[in-house]
Amino acid sequence: MKNKILTSLLLLPVFVLAVCMLRLNYMSHFEKVEVAVQGYDPKDFFSGYYMYLRPDWEHTDCTQFADNVCPKSNFNNTYTFYIKREQSDKLTQKVNAGVAKLQFSYSAGFEPIITDLLIDGQSFMEFIEEKK
Amino acid sequence: MVTLNQIKPSEAGNKENYWIMVLLYFASFLVGLGIVAEVAANWQNIPDAVKLGGALVAMLINAGAIWWTMKADKPILKQVLCCVYAFLIMGVIGLIGQVFHLHANAANACFLWALISWPLIFISPRLLWLWTPLFFFGCRYMPYMVNEMVSEGVFGDAGNIPPFYRFDNAILNVLRTYLAFVFILAYEIWMNFADKNNKTIVRPLRCYSGLFLLGMYGSASFFAHLLPKIDAARQMGAYFEFALPIVITAGLVYALNCKMKRKSFMPLFLIGILLQNMYIYFFYKHSSFWSDWFGAEEYLPIVFCVLIWIYALYNHMSKLAKLAVFSIILWFVFTFGDHVYDIIPSLIVCAVITSCAYFRRNRKWFNTGIILAVLRILVYYGNVENLQHLGLYLIGSGVLLIATTLLLTKYSKIIWEKKDEK
């Protein structure tokens, strides 16, 4: 009996993390919106290097939202975008030049989930590939 | 219901070699940290679904392997796999954060990890050595987390918890901030009522409770960091918010121990923390000393630790003296630089401690040396650039160490018996 309880408890982390994955995956398939950003790149102990980005509402097209109003309160003050260390310099230059936008999966009532970083309208992966 | 006290005898029943177990845990730590590093290396070429699916499969395989070791009665391998599983859970949390670009916050990740990995403690109680500090870290009531608490508004508005961890941000934030005090209370209650012979649980709890208190005591950075960031009107409020749980916890612990006729240094320490910070608060408020003397706060912990050590020696408090010496060593380990070559003197210090302990057959200091080495590697890892190579190196060296140690267990009896004969 004791072993059965312990064995089933072993699956608790798998279950919880799988539910988290599914929920976040569901949330990342809402309508896409683009928010202009500024930022820099530090490193996280668990998930590696990332860019620390701050929404720039002055340069964001608010017509993509309901009633043509940017729902600033639904977004955080800062966001993190995970990248490889060697990519950070090129991307930081573009972010500082003000041509970067974060693409979010957004639906009212849910937390916006980042789906891509856009540089001059193209995905950052395509941008990096072009620069190679 | 299964309790920690029920688990212990079955583990104690297996005549394991303590030293071998410590080495195996060290090796498991290397493998686990390697997994975290590989996740952090950010493999952009692999599709997200494959990464997440692979992570879940790896967890299931690891859980299955633990189940098998429980069934096949392989205690050593069970503990190794539990340790690797604990790190794997941590790695997967990091992976989820990476894939969905969630706000980076190590404390939040540790809190989630502590919430979902506690069942492992029932299978391998020694994981308390890992679980307890990460739980404390996740709770945020650590001196070096204060800076972040201020920036996230714990002392004022509801905290800015990232969406992934936001169940109910205000309640959760308050709860987690004060959980450390619940832990101290639980520890004191446990020390009053539970089986005191259960060393597997007593050791880590006692060690970390002491370290936690010493850490709070030694860190003079609380108000040095806090004061410049908030306005004068909030300063006193913040101080009371900091002081109130300390006073309540100290009072409750004192009352409990009076009733049970047990002596504990906990209430005195808690009040000491308060007095220390009150001193810093008024000192900072009326002097530009802190801002003029750059780096002064780094040296204050060592000064406090030395003072505690002298106090303990003067009052013949041997345990407190040992704890203070341990803290002093910790300070020396962590004040070296972050370059790969800077890790060498720290590890030499650890090797000397471990070797001396081995020849004098002192388990406590042997353990101390190994744990210090682990902590030093962790600090180095936090600053390393090429995570991909480091991850492979850690996993490789960990697996090699596990294989060597498991082989050693077959022949260790001869070695240790000969040493005992001498």
Per-domain boundaries in chain A: 31-131
* Element at B59 (helix H, strand E): helix B48-71
Q: Is B158 on the interface with A (CB under 8 A)?
A: no
d(CA B55, CA B42): 14
Interface test with A, best of B48, B50, B102, B384 (most A CBs within 10 A): B102
Which pLDDT belongs to residue B3?
Answer: 44
Which pLDDT belongs to residue B12?
Answer: 41
Question: Residues of chain B whose pLDDT is less than 50?
Answer: 1-14, 141-172, 217-224, 291-295
Average pLDDT score, chain B? 69
Chain B residues close to A126, C-beta within 8 Å: none
Distances (CA, A) of B342 to B328, B348, B380: 19, 11, 9
B84 close to B62: Cβ distance less than 8 angstroms: yes
Chain A residues close to B97, C-beta within 8 Å: 44, 46-47, 82
Chain B residues close to A48, C-beta within 8 Å: 39-42, 94, 98, 387
Selecting from A2, A13, A79 the residue whose C-beta is nearest the C-beta of B117 gives: A13
Chain B residues close to A6, C-beta within 8 Å: 2, 70, 119, 122-123
Q: Is B229 on the interface with A (CB under 8 A)?
A: no
Tell me which amino acid residue A38 is: Q
B24 close to B388: Cβ distance less than 8 angstroms: no
DSSP for A3-44, written as a single string = HHHHHHHHTHHHHHHHHHHHHHHHHTTSEEEEEEEEEE--EE
Q: How far is CA B211 from the centre of its chain?
A: 9
Selecting from B93, B166, B387 the residue whose C-beta is nearest the C-beta of A48 gives: B387
Task: Report the 10 Å Cβ neighbour count for A126.
Answer: 13
For residue A62, give how far its alpha carbon lies from the nearest alpha carbon of chain B (Å). Answer: 22
Selecting from B85, B92, B103 the residue whose C-beta is nearest the C-beta of A17 gives: B92
Chain A residues close to B6, C-beta within 8 Å: 2
Distances (CA, A) of B326 to A10, B210, B267, B369: 35, 11, 21, 10
Selecting from A48, A50, A79 the residue whose C-beta is nearest the C-beta of B41 gives: A48
Q: Is B401 on the interface with A (CB under 8 A)?
A: no
DSSP for B280-338, written as a single string = HHHHHHT-SHHHHSTTHHHHHHHHHHHHHHHHHHHTT-HHHHHHHHHHHHHHHHHTS-S
Q: Hey, are the CB atoms on B56 and A50 less than 8 Å from each other?
A: no
To the question of pTM greater than 0.90 for the whole model, the response is: no
Q: Could you state, in chain order, the average pLDDT of each consecutive group of 10 residues for chain A (132 residues)? A: 75 88 85 74 68 85 87 83 78 81 86 87 83 68
SS3 B251: helix
Chain A residues close to B44, C-beta within 8 Å: 84, 125
d(CA B4, CA B201): 8
d(CA B306, CA A19): 49
Residue with tokens 């502590």: B114
DSSP class of B103: P
Please state the length of chain A.
132
Selecting from B2, B162, B382 the residue whose C-beta is nearest the C-beta of A5 gives: B2
Residue with tokens 């195996």: B24
Q: Hey, are the CB atoms on B385 and A85 less than 8 Å from each other?
A: yes
In total, the C-beta contacts within 8 angstroms joining chain A to chain B are 130
Task: Report the 10 Å Cβ neighbour count for B32.
Answer: 23
Selecting from A5, A17, A42 the residue whose C-beta is nearest the C-beta of B96 gives: A17
Residue with tokens 């590989």: B38
Q: Is B387 on the interface with A (CB under 8 A)?
A: yes
Q: Is B84 on the interface with A (CB under 8 A)?
A: no
Chain A residues close to B117, C-beta within 8 Å: 13
**B26 closest CA partner among B359, B406, B401:** B401
SS3 B57: helix
Task: For residue A68, give both structure tokens.
Answer: 């043509």
Chain B residues close to A17, C-beta within 8 Å: 55-56, 59, 89, 92-93, 96, 116
Half-sphere exposure of B299 (CA within 13 A, CB side): 5
Per-window interface: B 288-347 vs A, CB < 8 A: none
Residue of A nearest to B113 (CA): A13
* Element at A105 (helix H, strand E): strand A100-106
Selecting from B41, B95, B382 the residue whose C-beta is nearest the C-beta of A45 gives: B382
- Using CB atoms within 10 Å of the CB of residue A121, give its burial: 0 to 12 exposed, 13 to 18 middle, 19+ buried: exposed
Selecting from A3, A12, A85 the residue whose C-beta is nearest the C-beta of B70 gives: A3
